[in-house]
Amino acid sequence: MANISALEYFRAVEGRRLHRKVERKRRRSRKAVANMELFKLDSELTLIIDLGYTNAMNNKELCKLVRQMGRVWGLQKRYVGLITILLSPCEKFIGESRRVLTGFDSFKWTIMYKNIEQCSNKRLIYLSPDASLAPLESLSSNEAYVIGGLVDETGRGSLSKDRAGLLNSVSCESTIYSPKE
């Protein structure tokens, strides 16, 4: 065993202490993120995801949709009072979701195979990415918000806006981020 001087020994010990201190801070910050408080909504908010077009999607679009549904599940876990209804998913979507999303069958989603009018007695508002529509300004517990159409990479147009027109429902632009001027 090589002899090390007392100075080298104390430097090594001090280095280990600093490393442990940094690790403790990292661990605390990771725990803080993991134990993030749930946000309780003032009232229940109904979100209907219309999956009636999933048969027309190619595999790439379907995989993107499944990953987006995983994000929706993350929001539903965090925001108490968010009710999510999956409307008319095809078997291809269900199979891909079970493959990609761990625990998909235990997610607290309601899966319905009904017409859109039958799944909620609230007023329906279709959210569309179409920029020609008026943006959604506020949320209400008396309304059910419908997200539908495709993760459209083929340019088929705004299917959700067209579907809202067929059902005589209101359609709004679903702005995620709108810069203030």
Q: Are 143 and 122 in contact (CB under 8 A)?
A: yes
Res 46 pLDDT > 80: yes
Res 181 pLDDT > 60: no
Architecture (CATH level 2) of domain 39-173: 3-Layer(aba) Sandwich (3.40)
Measured CA to CA, the distance from residue 165 to residue 149 in angstroms comes to 13
Domain ranges of the chain: 1-36, 39-173
What average pLDDT score do residues 25-33 get?
Answer: 85
How confident is the model over 115-171, as pLDDT tens digits?
777 777 888 888 877 656 777 877 888 888 888 755 555 555 566 667 777 777 777
Burial of 80 (0-12, 13-18, 19+ CB in 10 A): exposed
